[in-house]
């Protein structure tokens, strides 16, 4: 696992983290290969999605949350985990079992029992139960599904520097691919379910979260259609609602769901959810700031793409809300430039960046991200108290810090 960012190197260089994420990647790639074998035309898009998820942030949060929630017995310690050669073909046998049941055949009790035993046993010495890695894979696949649908909506040509799914497949097949990935996510979540764990609750949380995510997309679409009015009267409330639904709720679930599966207490789960939620808000604010980083090739998409899609990020909103008398002229100029850029102008992005900076928009957005990161830090301290989870806590702090400093 490569971080491609020095801020996360201390986490990804840890042998246990690398091994676990490699195992999650193995599960995802195996499932993608199965789908590509059935529908070869989607194989290039699946390969690009796999390559574009290099940091595997959401699976990482699932695994760290699971270990933090369980406590000292699950701290990484010094164990070196090596799961790369493990066989995940049992997933294929379980899928065949489901298909047979739907076709009216009896379920294969032997296969079903083998799968039940497999998902509840430790994946490898020092590792978590297999069902935790299935959950981590499920949330990464859910994230991929949202990216596919987002790129169709935004008409984005690139995803992490690679052609997006709709560029490779066309809009119709890209939408179907996103739907397929959603079904894979829910199938995996169902496969983690146990009567003595929180899995069924996790499934309900994911279903509710997807609904919130879709609602945020509708809200964002409504704002795009009303850009002139929004420029005249910019507000932060809807922006926060949008990024909460698009990003923060998934981060909250990622950091808490693994802990729930491992039987963490309510106070720990609540603290993990709040930490993940605030990390997600900071992550998205920083992501929106990077949209104005002209020349940042590492970001993997053209600068100004969100603004071109008529999306006002926090830095633009804060710049437009500058009500100082001396700023009035710059605010009016910025309003005109943003509207022109959103309508297709190609030569004024640099001027927009200068105006946002002059009006304090970037500084205000960074300060807001920092506030959320501070709130996340307080929640992580609550989780750490009374637990011997030094290695996991260190990784969580590195992750939190990265969200405020990342360049891609």
- Local confidence band at 169 (pLDDT 50, 70, 90 cut-offs): confident
With CA atoms as reference, report the closest residue to 269 among 254, 279, 277, 259.
259
- C-alpha triplet 94, 96, 97: angle, nearest 5°: 60
**38 falls within a domain:** yes
What's the average model confidence in pLDDT over 14-24?
A: 90
Reported as a single tens digit per residue, the pLDDT across 67-87 is 998 877 788 865 556 665 577
Reported as a single tens digit per residue, the pLDDT across 234-267 is 989 999 999 999 899 999 999 999 999 998 999 9
Burial (CB < 10 A; 0-12, 13-18, 19+), residue 78, is exposed
| Structural tokens at position 108 | 């294969």
Identify which of 174-183, 192-201, 275-284 has the greatest average pLDDT.
275-284
To the question of pTM greater than 0.95 for the whole model, the response is no
Q: Can you tell me whether residue 198 is helix, strand or coil?
A: coil
Q: Are 63 and 258 in contact (CB under 8 A)?
A: yes
CATH number for the domain harbouring residue 267:
1.10.600.10
Range of the domain at 211: 6-86+123-283+366-403
Output 4 or 146, whichever has higher pLDDT. 146
**354 falls within a domain:** no
- Local confidence band at 198 (pLDDT 50, 70, 90 cut-offs): very low
**173 falls within a domain:** yes
d(C-alpha 369, C-alpha 283), whole Å: 8
Helices then strands, counting H and E runs in the chain, come out as: 20, 2
Domain count, the chain: 1
What's the average model confidence in pLDDT over 163-179?
A: 89
Burial (CB < 10 A; 0-12, 13-18, 19+), residue 117, is exposed
97, pLDDT greater than 60: no
**348 falls within a domain:** no
**301 falls within a domain:** no
Mean confidence (pLDDT) of the chain: 86
| Structural tokens at position 191 | 């496969």
Q: Are 52 and 151 in contact (CB under 8 A)?
A: no
**319 falls within a domain:** no
118, pLDDT greater than 90: no
Reported as a single tens digit per residue, the pLDDT across 205-219 is 888 888 999 999 899
299, pLDDT greater than 60: no
d(C-alpha 235, C-alpha 242), whole Å: 12
**345 falls within a domain:** no
Comparing 154-158, 297-301, 331-335, the range with the smallest average pLDDT is: 297-301
98, pLDDT greater than 90: no
Beta-bridge mates of residue 158: 163
**81 falls within a domain:** yes
């Amino acid at each position: 696992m490569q971080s491609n960012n020095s801020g996360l190197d201390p986490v990804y260089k840890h042998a246990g983290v690398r091994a676990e994420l490699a195992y999650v990647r193995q599960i995802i790639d195996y499932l993608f290969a199965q789908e590509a074998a059935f529908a070869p035309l989607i194989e290039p898009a699946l390969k690009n999605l796999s390559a574009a998820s290099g940091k595997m942030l959401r699976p990482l949060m699932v695994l760290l949350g699971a270990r933090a929630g369980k406590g000292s017995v699950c701290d990484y310690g010094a164990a070196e985990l090596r799961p790369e050669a493990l066989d995940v073909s049992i997933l294929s046998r379980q899928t065949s079992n489901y298909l047979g049941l739907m076709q009216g055949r009896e379920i294969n009790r032997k296969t079903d029992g083998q799968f039940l035993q497999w998902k509840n046993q430790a994946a490898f010495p020092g590792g978590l139960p297999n069902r935790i890695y299935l959950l981590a894979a499920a949330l990464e696949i859910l994230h991929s599904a949202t990216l596919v649908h987002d790129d169709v909506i935004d008409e984005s040509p690139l995803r992490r520097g690679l052609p997006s799914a709709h560029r490779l497949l066309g809009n119709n097949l890209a939408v179907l691919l996103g739907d397929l990935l959603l079904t894979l996510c829910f199938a995996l979540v169902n496969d983690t379910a146990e009567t003595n764990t929180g899995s069924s609750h996790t499934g309900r949380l994911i279903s509710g979260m997807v609904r919130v995510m879709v609602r945020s997309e509708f809200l964002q679409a409504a704002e795009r259609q009303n850009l002139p009015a929004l420029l005249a009267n910019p507000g932060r409330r809807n922006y926060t609602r949008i990024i909460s639904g698009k990003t923060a709720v998934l981060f909250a679930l990622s950091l808490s769901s693994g802990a729930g599966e491992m039987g963490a207490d309510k106070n720990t789960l609540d603290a993990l959810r709040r930490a993940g939620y605030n990390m997600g808000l900071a992550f998205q604010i920083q992501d929106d700031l990077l949209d104005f980083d002209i020349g940042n090739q590492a970001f993997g998409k053209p600068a100004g793409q969100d603004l071109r899609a008529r999306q006002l990020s926090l830095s633009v909103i804060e710049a437009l809300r500058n009500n100082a008398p001396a700023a009035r002229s710059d605010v009016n100029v910025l309003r005109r430039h943003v509207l022109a850029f959103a309508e297709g102008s190609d030569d004024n992005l640099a001027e927009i960046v200068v105006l946002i900076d002059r009006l304090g928009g970037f500084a205000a957005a960074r300060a807001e991200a920092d506030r959320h990161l501070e709130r996340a830090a307080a929640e992580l301290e609550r989780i750490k108290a009374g637990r011997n989870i030094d290695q996991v806590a260190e990784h969580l702090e590195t992750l939190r810090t990265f969200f405020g400093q990342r360049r891609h």
